[in-house]
Chains A and B, each alone.
Chain A
Amino acid sequence: MPEGTLCNKRPVNTKEELQALLADKSGKTYYEEMNRLEVDPKVLQATLRRTFRSRFRTWLDMCAHCGLCAESCFLYLANKRDPRQVPSYKIQSTLGEIVRRKGRVDNTFMQAAMETAWAKCTCCNRCALYCPFGIDMGVMFSYLRGLCFSQGFVPWELKIGSGMHRIYRAQMDVTVEDWVETCSWMAEEYEDDWPGLAIPVDKEGADIMYTVNAREPKHYPEDLAEAAILFHIAGEDWTVPSEGWEETSLAMFAGDWEACRLQVESVYGAMARLKPRRMVVTECGHAYRATVIEGPYWAGIKTGKPPVESIHYVEWVAEALRTGKLKVDPARKIKEPVTYQDSCNYIRNAGLSKCARQIMGYIAEDFREMKPTREHNFCCGGGGGFNGLGRFREQRNIGLKVKMEQIRATGAKLVVSPCHNCWDAIRDLEEIYEVGVKWSFLKPLLISMVEVPEHLTPKDE
Chain B
Amino acid sequence: MYQLVTGPLAWLSFGVFFIGMLVRVVLYIKGLDTQLDRVTYRVNVAYGLRGALRSVVRWLIPFGTRSWRINPGFTLVFFLFHVCLIGAPLFVQAHSILLKERWGFGLPTVSDATADLMTAGVVVAGVLLLLRRIALPEVRFISTAYDYLLLAIAVAPFLTGFLAYHSAPGYRFWLIAHILCGQIMLVAIPLTKLNHFALFFLSRAQIGMDFGIKRGGMKGTGMPW
Pair A132/B59 contact, Cβ less than 8 Å: yes
Given A53-B31, A54-B30, A64-B147, the answer on whether A130 and B203 have CB atoms closer than 8 Å is no
Query: Would you list which residues of chain A between 327 and 374 have a CB under 8 Å from chain B?
Result: 348-354, 372, 374
Query: Would you list which residues of chain A between 76 and 95 have a CB under 8 Å from chain B?
Result: 76, 81, 83-84, 86, 88-89, 92
Pair B32/A55 contact, Cβ less than 8 Å: yes
Given A61-B193, A352-B219, the answer on whether A67 and B67 have CB atoms closer than 8 Å is no
Chain A residues with Cβ below 8 Å from B95 are: none
Chain A residues with Cβ below 8 Å from B112 are: none
Pair A376/B32 contact, Cβ less than 8 Å: no
Pair A134/B147 contact, Cβ less than 8 Å: no
Nearest neighbor of B44 in chain A, beta-carbon distance: A304
Q: Which of B141, B200, B202, B215 contacts A132 (CB 8 A)?
A: B200
Q: Which of B32, B137, B221 contacts A53 (CB 8 A)?
A: B32
Q: Which of B28, B38, B193 contacts A294 (CB 8 A)?
A: B38
Q: Which of B37, B215, B218 has the most CB of A within 10 A?
A: B215
Chain B residues with Cβ below 8 Å from A92 are: 142
Chain B residues with Cβ below 8 Å from A76 are: 138
Chain A residues with Cβ below 8 Å from B65 are: 129
Pair A81/B137 contact, Cβ less than 8 Å: yes
Chain A residues with Cβ below 8 Å from B139 are: 65-67, 70
Distance in Å: Cβ of A415 to nearest Cβ of chain B: 23
Q: Which of B32, B38, B143, B195 contacts A62 (CB 8 A)?
A: B195
**Among the listed stretches B13-21, B162-170, B206-214, which one makes contact with chain A, having 4 or more residues with CB under 8 Å of it?**
B206-214
Pair B142/A62 contact, Cβ less than 8 Å: no
CA–CA, A130 to B65, complex, Å?
A: 8
Nearest neighbor of A375 in chain B, beta-carbon distance: B224
CA–CA, A354 to B216, complex, Å?
A: 11
Chain B residues with Cβ below 8 Å from A376 are: 66, 224
Pair B28/A353 contact, Cβ less than 8 Å: no
Pair A134/B66 contact, Cβ less than 8 Å: no
Q: Which of B40, B70, B210, B215 contacts A303 (CB 8 A)?
A: B40
User: CB of B196 within 8 A of chain A?
Assistant: yes
Q: Which of B137, B139, B200 has the most CB of A within 10 A?
A: B139
Pair A353/B31 contact, Cβ less than 8 Å: no
Chain B residues with Cβ below 8 Å from A130 are: 66-67
Nearest neighbor of A60 in chain B, beta-carbon distance: B193
Given A351-B221, A374-B224, the answer on whether A297 and B138 have CB atoms closer than 8 Å is no
User: CB of A57 within 8 A of chain B?
Assistant: yes
Nearest neighbor of B31 in chain A, beta-carbon distance: A54
Q: Mark B179-222, 1 if CB is under 8 A from A, else 0.
A: 00000000000000101100110111011101101111111110
Query: For the complex, would chain B's binding face be called helix, strand, loop or mixed by DSSP majority?
Result: helix
Pair A64/B74 contact, Cβ less than 8 Å: no
User: CB of B43 within 8 A of chain A?
Assistant: yes
CA–CA, A352 to B218, complex, Å?
A: 11
Distance in Å: Cβ of A458 to nearest Cβ of chain B: 39
Pair B37/A351 contact, Cβ less than 8 Å: no
Chain B residues with Cβ below 8 Å from A304 are: 34, 38-40, 43-44, 213-214
Nearest neighbor of B196 in chain A, beta-carbon distance: A62
Pair B141/A89 contact, Cβ less than 8 Å: yes
User: CB of B136 within 8 A of chain A?
Assistant: yes
Distance in Å: Cβ of A140 to nearest Cβ of chain B: 12
CA–CA, A384 to B59, complex, Å?
A: 28
CA–CA, A66 to B147, complex, Å?
A: 10
Q: How many residues on the A side are at the interface (Cβ–Cβ under 8 A)? A: 53
Q: Which of A76, A92, A131 has the most CB of B within 10 A?
A: A131
User: CB of A59 within 8 A of chain B?
Assistant: yes
Pair A54/B216 contact, Cβ less than 8 Å: no
Given A55-B31, A83-B141, A129-B67, the answer on whether A353 and B221 have CB atoms closer than 8 Å is yes
User: CB of A293 within 8 A of chain B?
Assistant: yes
Given A65-B147, A352-B216, the answer on whether A132 and B67 have CB atoms closer than 8 Å is yes
CA–CA, A134 to B58, complex, Å?
A: 12
Given A293-B214, A351-B217, the answer on whether A134 and B142 have CB atoms closer than 8 Å is no
Pair B136/A67 contact, Cβ less than 8 Å: yes
CA–CA, A225 to B224, complex, Å?
A: 37
Pair A302/B38 contact, Cβ less than 8 Å: no
Query: Would you list which residues of chain A between 286 and 300 have a CB under 8 Å from chain B?
Result: 293-294, 297, 300
Pair B203/A68 contact, Cβ less than 8 Å: no
CA–CA, A303 to B65, complex, Å?
A: 30
Nearest neighbor of B41 in chain A, beta-carbon distance: A304
Distance in Å: Cβ of B183 to nearest Cβ of chain A: 22
CA–CA, A351 to B50, complex, Å?
A: 15
Q: Which of A58, A83, A136, A294 contacts B138 (CB 8 A)?
A: A83
User: CB of A433 within 8 A of chain B?
Assistant: no
Distance in Å: Cβ of A325 to nearest Cβ of chain B: 20
Given A58-B199, A83-B137, A304-B44, 20 extra CB contacts under 8 A: A54-B27, A54-B29, A54-B30, A55-B203, A58-B202, A59-B203, A65-B144, A66-B74, A83-B138, A89-B142, A129-B223, A131-B67, A132-B200, A133-B204, A302-B43, A304-B34, A348-B215, A349-B216, A350-B219, A352-B216
Can you list 23 residue pairs at the A/B interface with Cβ under 8 Å?
Answer: A54-B31, A55-B203, A59-B203, A62-B193, A62-B196, A62-B199, A64-B147, A65-B133, A68-B67, A76-B138, A81-B137, A83-B137, A86-B138, A129-B65, A132-B78, A133-B199, A135-B207, A294-B38, A303-B43, A304-B39, A351-B220, A375-B224, A376-B224
- Across the A-B interface, the 4 shortest Cβ-Cβ residue pairs: A351-B216, A54-B31, A134-B207, A83-B141
Residues of B within 8 A of A (CB): 27-40, 43-44, 55, 59, 65-67, 70-71, 74, 78, 133, 136-144, 147, 193, 195-196, 199-200, 202-204, 206-208, 210-211, 213-221, 223-225
